[in-house]
Amino acid sequence: MLLDETLHSFEANHNLLRVWQPRCQRRHTKANIVARSACKQHERTHTGELPYTCEYCRKSFSHLSRYQIHERTHSGEKPYKCKHCRKCFGQLVNCQKHERIHTGKKPYTCNHCNKSFNSSSHCKRHERIHTGVRPHTCKHSKKGFRHLANCKEHERIHTGEKPYMCKHCKKGFSDHTSCKQHEQTHTGEKPYECRHCERCFSRSSNCKRHEKTHTGVKPFTCKHCDRGFGRLSDCQRHERTHTGEKPYACKHCNKCFSQLGSCKEHERTHTGEKPCTCKHCNKCFGRSSDCKRHERTHTGEKLHTCKHCNKHLSSLSHCNELTQERHRIQALLDKRCTITHCFSDARTKVEARGILAPLGSRFLKLCHIKTRAHQLL
């Protein structure tokens, strides 16, 4: 009798757990789905039903929770606050991930190199570097990517879509990160600080790369010459010097380049685009390096030092081979006989001819014995 009652009770409870069955006949136990709403959500993966629509952009969602998270991107609501720095987030998982930066907790470990991460997604993304898996493919060029976000950003190169716009100059960008980094050129914000020397950076990647100059860590090694690098992109760029690969082609003249940055700079010679603007006089430049060099004419900053005379110069080009030749000429001419104003020996004359001849009179004017030097030539 007792056994019959026990079996009847078990059968009743088991049927209760199976009362909400999806159309795919998948049976849901207490371990996975115990509510009707959860069962309905699962059925939508089969039917494609999207009952929740955003009022701002009309994007639709199958889950109420995903719809609510999306709406916060429009409303700006951030209900989750970090316990350590009071920074706010729109999603609880992002808040928890951020708090691990303060606590130093890294619960996820790579199966290949035992490197630890504070989030599961970062760990999986890193493991693809070892496995070489590229699960996301571009619809237009069939190029493979390790991350879905990178694949979507790449596809916008083909479509020309630029959904992110700068608040200050209305310039469009294909990804959110580039837009934020551009806005910092207007605000001057540098939120990332080096842990070793307190130098600040506008980009997290630049800050991390700089910190490696203190630690000396170079985890990436060239396959051809075993040279070490702090960044994977630097290592890949270096390897192209061995292979001769030039994967980036100009859209206008089909000239190829080994670096994307060099290709973009070259394309501006065709389009005439000058995106870099001087902070002091609003003069525009096609290259960032040219703009920075120009800005030093306003600030008077001199970053480079001549190896021969320790003179400080604002441009690296002023320390080039031609400048070094000028010092060599001066050193030779300083060997002259102070009484007769002639060179001390025939060997010095020959050496002086070899250096002075190709340079012409430009640097001879700098020499206080130019008359005698002209006689030599």
Binning pLDDT at 50, 70 and 90, where does residue 327 land? low
Amino acid at site 174: S
The whole-number average pLDDT for the span 162-182 is 87
CA distance 51 to 174: 29
What is the tens place of the pLDDT at every residue in 87-134?
899 888 888 888 888 888 888 899 989 888 888 888 888 888 899 899
Show the beta-strand stretches assigned E in the chain: 52-53, 60-61, 80-81, 88-89, 108-109, 116-117, 136-137, 144-145, 164-165, 172-173, 192-193, 200-201, 220-221, 228-229, 248-249, 256-257, 276-277, 284-285, 304-305, 312-313
Return left, alpha or beta for 196; rule: phi > 0 is left, psi -120 to 50 is alpha, else beta: alpha
**Which pLDDT value is given to residue 353?**
47
**Which pLDDT value is given to residue 242?**
92
What rounded mean pLDDT belongs to the chain? Answer: 76
Q: With 60 as the cut, is the pLDDT of residue 6 above it?
A: no
Q: With 60 as the cut, is the pLDDT of residue 216 above it?
A: yes
The whole-number average pLDDT for the span 269-290 is 86
Q: With 60 as the cut, is the pLDDT of residue 234 above it?
A: yes
Tokens representing 266 are 């070259």
- Backbone dihedral angles phi then psi of residue 222, each to the nearest 5 degrees: -65, 135
- The highest-confidence range among 13-22, 217-226, 331-340, 353-362, by mean pLDDT, is 217-226
Residue 312 carries which DSSP code? E
Binning pLDDT at 50, 70 and 90, where does residue 376 land? very low
Separation in Å, CA 121 to CA 117, 127, 260: 9, 10, 27
Query: How is 50-90 classified by DSSP, letter by letter?
Result: --EE-TTT--EESSHHHHHHHHHHHH----EE-TTT--EES
Binning pLDDT at 50, 70 and 90, where does residue 334 land? low
The whole-number average pLDDT for the span 207-211 is 84
